[in-house]
Each structure stands twice: as C-alpha cells, then as structure tokens.
Structure 1
Amino acid sequence: MAAEAKQTCYEGSSVQSFQFYLEQSGEHKAILQCVHSILPGEFKRIGAGKSDLSVLGVGSGGGELDVQMLSLLQSSFPAVPITADIVEGSSQLTANFKALVAKTTNLQKTPFAWHIMNSEDYEEEVKSKGDMKRFDFIHMVQMLYYVDNLGKTIKFYHSLLKNNGRLMIIIEAAGGGWDTLWKTYKKELCVDAITEYRSSAEVVACLKSQGLKYEEHTIHNAFDITECFDPNSATGERLLNFMTAKDHFYQSFTQEIRAGMLDLLRNKCSTEKDGRVFFNSNLSCILVYA
C-alpha cells in the first residue's frame, strides 16, 4: 500500500495495541463460539455436491479465526480439496498468519494465495485483470469500518460468491458500546483510518437496499473496562487508546472531552457488576446468501 494512502490496517505500534485489545476483550473467543455453533450447518449446505471448495478471507489479520474456520470446513468435507485466498493490508499480521498456518498440521496441504493489500485495492486488481475467481465462502470480520464505500464493497464481494455460497460479515452490533461511543463522539473520533463509523445497522440497511437475502445472529460479549477509570492505570490507558484509535488518549483530547467520554463509557456503554464496569461489546454475525 502506498505510503501516502490512509492507514486502513494495523502496522507498527497499532499491531501491539490490537493484540492487547484481543487479550483483554475476549472478542475472538466470543466470535469462535458463534462460528462453531452456526458454521457447521452452513458449511454442509454450501459444500453439498461440490468437488472443490474455495474460501476468501478479507481483512483476516493474524489468521486466528481463519485457521479455525478452515479447519471446520475441512472436517465437514475431509475428502474435498480447499483453497484459501487471503486479503490483508498489514504485512506484520500476514507474517503472523503464515507462521500460524505453518504450525497448523491439518492445513499444511491447503494452498494459500496471499494478497497483501487492502480490500479496495484487491477489488481494483480483480476488475482490472478481469479474472473473477469465485468463492464458496467469503468472510469479512471487523473490517468494514475501513472501506470508503460500504455499498460498493458489499456488492463487489457478494458478486464473487459461487452458487449457494455465503458471505459472512461480523461487525459491532447496533446500539452496542462501540456504536454509542463512536457515534456520540463522531467529530473527535472519525478523523483517521475510520472516517465514518458503521455498525450492523448500516450493513443491514445496505443489504436491504440491494435486495440481498441475509440472516443475523447476535454475538454476546462484554469486557472489563474498570481500569479505564483509573488515570494511573497503564492497562486502562492502553484500552482507551485502542477504543478511541489514538496513540495517547490523555494527550489526544481536551479534559472536557475526556471526561465526557469516560462518563459515556461508564453510564451508556456499560453495565456495573460487583463494583466492576463491563463494556457492552456485542457483535453481529450477518450471513448473506448468494
């Protein structure tokens, strides 16, 4: 990706910030519970009668979820060859993904095609080559915040689905903590990589406007942000940095804005239990039919 392009993926210090967030939030665990309950049935429908299967991951990060989904697909169809294409803009996270594949015994024979670029560059490349490889299963986990045109992106990836394929979108749930924080403080937060915050509400509206058939499942998740209210807590500050997409929460906003955000986080985005504050981090898993 060109140096002057806006950063739409994690590199450098943002990789550490993202991985710290994943450890603290339990987000991947929550997503995997959903994946393991929904995808086996979906995969049986998608793969019925097919002699080979192809998967496309868009914004796959370090591949922790992809490896699980590919293993699940493989266990559903042990005799059917599977190929995987991965679109990920971060060279660091792609390297992590490759290392993970190297350690995953059952994926040693799965051919991977790596596209180290953002999703819009991939779209341009596919269209310019005219080589429209199609896929049985496409997943976009937590990446639609970074695209310029939501409708165009969904339309393009949906067009790559094979007969009976599925596009799985995972995104923050409408009305959840992230949605409340980022829409309330849009002016302060939507200034860098994310210029327009989206939740499942915007995705569903987009699918309806395109007349696409879909089903939606809630992924319940909450994580402890009590430390965020202690100005001396390094953990609290690191969480606030990630949640506001800033390197330094305390230096990035005026005292008034910081106080307003912390009040909102405590009173509108979270619930309290046994003296601890738990941020509502529900997600939405949206399965779009071919």
Structure 2
Amino acid sequence: MGTGKQTCYDGTIIENFDFFLEHTKEHEVQLQHLRHILLPEFERIGAGKSSLDVLGVGSGGGEMDVEMLSLLQSVSPAVPIAVDIVEGSVQFTDRFKALLANTANLQKIPFTWHIMPSEDYEKQVKAKEDMKKFDFIHMIHMVYYLKDFHETLKFHHSLLKNNGRLLIILNAATSSWVTMWKTYSKELCAGTTTDEPKIHSGDVIAFLKSQGLKYDEFVIPDSFDITECFNPSSTTGERLLSFMTLRDHFSQSFTPDIRAGLLDLLRDKCSTIKDGRFFFDNSFSCILVHA
C-alpha cells in the first residue's frame, strides 16, 4: 500500500502500523479464525485441480499471505500454486520478499509482483485481451483506501475462476472504528486518500446484495487496550493514536479542541471498561464472496 494515492502507508505511518500490530495482536486473531474459515474452502477450491492461482491485493508485508499460502499448500500438497501480488508500497514489498526468503515451504512457488496501486493494476489488466483468472483472491484491510470500492470489487470478482472465492476482511459495522470515523470524518479524512468516512462491512454487504452475489460473512470479535491514549505523556498512547487517525504524530496534527473531542469520544462511545482499563472495539468481518 503506498505509492500515488493508494494508501497512506509510508515512512512513519508504517512504523506506527507495526507498533499497532505488536500492541494489538490483530494478525494472530485474524489467523486463528481464518484457519477454520479457509480450511474447508481451500479443500473445495483445490479438489481435482492441476494448478492453483492466487491473487493478493494490498498484501502489505505478506504476513497473512504466507500463512494462507502455507495452509493452501498443506491442503493440496501435490498441486502447483502460482501467486500474483498487487502492493503499492516498495517498503512493504521488500519486507514480503524477505519473509518469503525465510519461509522454506514456499520457496518453489513463483511470485509475480505488481508494485502499484490496485487501480493501476486494474487498468493494466483491462488493457490486455486475456485476463488472468484466479482460484482465490484476498483483500485484507485494504478496501478503505480505494477511490471506488464498488468498481474495484466488481473487477476483482470478475477475475475469479469457477468455484473461486474472494476474501474481503475489513472493520465490522459494529466496531468502534466506524463510530470514530463517522463522528470525525471531516477532520480524519483531510489529507488522506478518500474524502469519505472509512467504509465498513455493512457497506460491502449492501453492495454485494445489490449485485446479487452470494457470500458468507463471519464477524470476528476483537478489542485492544487504549488506556495509554488518555495519558498525554505516554509514547504508547501517542503512537496508537497516530495510527488510529492515520497521522505521523497525533498530538501535532489536530487542534487542541479536536484532540480533546476525539479523546472524549474514544473514552465515552468507543470503549468498554474492564478492570479499570479501556478497550476499543476492533471487531472485523471476513466476507467470502462466491464466484
């Protein structure tokens, strides 16, 4: 994610993202549930196939990809897998390649890298007469950064082979992210890739229904501790707030009034209190769209 206006992920934002992942264990929660969700899907997708094609869109550093590909390979060990990756950030792509170099079981899988925003990949593919089709496509926490998620989802769905699946993971409609971004959309969207509040699972499902597409939704409950966000001298709090608002430095990015309003909202409307600690609702939706 990164070049052009694809996403905000570059430099300090990537560092804040890494800090967020360390602090929240979001990847571990996703993987724990994804294994159960994807195992029967991968068994069905791989049945009777002589080869499998996978497309990752906005794959970041590849941590989730490596786990999903290892699972797919374990289900269909004799079937060759080929992977295409669309990722706008050179920094993330380099990290992905380094991760692959240390993952022995994936060494024989050929990877094709498209280091560009997904919109540019879409234009490139549409310009070719022969579109490559895929058995499994995934878009994990990246649809927020699309200029037109309707068109992009429609396009990627058109790339599925028969019996293929498109996996979309994003914030659940019930999560605190939705409350935060809707309440402060003007302030939080200024200078980012979109002028609208971040989309959530409800937006995607409404679109899938409008297109008559079949899908399965799995809502995964999750939360993380934001108590440090209310301590103005806490580095942890500053870095979490910076990631949550997509800014390099939260405390320098907003007026004192906006900062105070955001913190009040996080405390009063976005948190549950347990043992004196504040927990932010980070629930997300795994949506599997059928071909």
Query: Under a length normalisation based on structure 2, what TM-score does the superposition of the two structures give?
Result: 0.96
Q: Which deviates the most, 7-16 or 34-43?
A: 7-16
Contact 1:54 1:137 in 2 (8 A): yes
Which 10-residue stretch deviates more, 245-254 or 168-177? 245-254
Partner of 2:147: 148
2 and 243 in structure 1: CA distance in 2 versus 1, 3 angstrom threshold? closer
Which residues in structure 2 correspond to 1:1-290 (within 5 Å)?
Answer: 5-6=4-5, 8-191=7-190, 192-196=192-196, 197-290=198-291
Aligned equivalents of 1:152 and 1:198: distance in 2? 14
Corresponding residue SS for 2:72: helix
| Displacement after TM superposition at 1:84 (Å) | 0.7
Q: Offset of 1:45 from its aligned partner?
A: 1.2
Q: Which moved more, 1:185-194 or 1:107-116?
A: 185-194
Give the 3-state SS of the residue equivalent to 1:155 in structure 2.
helix
What residue ranges of structure 1 are gaps of 5+ in the alignment?
none
Rounded to whole Å, the distance in 1 between the matches of 2:239 and 2:195 is: 22
**Structure 2: which amino acid aligns with 1:43?**
F
Whichever residue aligns with residue 210 of structure 2, its letter is S
Q: Which letter maps to 1:77?
A: S
RMSD: 1.4
Deviations 1:12-61 (A, max 9, x none): 22211111111111110111011111101011111111111010000000
Conserved 8 A contact 2:174-2:283: no
| Structure 1, 156-165 or 253-262: larger mean CA deviation | 253-262
Question: Taking structure 1 as reference, are residues 9 and 252 closer, same or farther at Cα in structure 2, changes over 3 Å only?
Answer: closer
- Contact 2:13–2:247 at 8 Å: present in 1 too? no
How far did 1:249 drift? 1.4
Identity of aligned residues (%): 64
Structure 2 Cα separation of the partners of residues 178 and 219 of structure 1 = 14
Mean CA deviation greater in 74-83 or 43-52 = 43-52
Could you list the structure 1 runs, at least 4 aligned residues long, displaced by more than 3 angstroms after superposition: none
SS in 2 for 1:61: coil
* Cα deviation, residue 7, structure 1: 5.0
Q: Using the alignment, how far apart are the partners of 1:77 and 1:6 within structure 2?
A: 38
The SS at the match of 1:235 is helix
Asked if the contact 1:11/1:91 (under 8 Å) is kept, the reply is no
Asked if the contact 1:224/1:278 (under 8 Å) is kept, the reply is yes
Return closer, same or farther for 1:264/1:95 CA change in 2, 3 Å cut-off: same
Would you say the 8 A contact 2:145–2:193 is kept in 1?
A: yes
Q: Deviations over 1:209-254 (max 9, x none)?
A: 1111001001121111100000000110010011011122122222
Compared with structure 1, are the counterparts of its residues 248 and 26 closer, same or farther at alpha carbon in structure 2 (3 Å cutoff)? same
- 1:87-134 Cα deviation digits (max 9, x unpaired): 000000000000000100000000000110111110001011223100
Structure 2: unaligned runs, 5 residues or longer: none
Q: Which amino acid aligns with 1:193?
A: T
Q: Which amino acid in 2 is paired with 1:167?
A: L
Residue identity in the other structure for 2:12? S
In 2, distance between residues paired with 1:175 and 1:43? 29
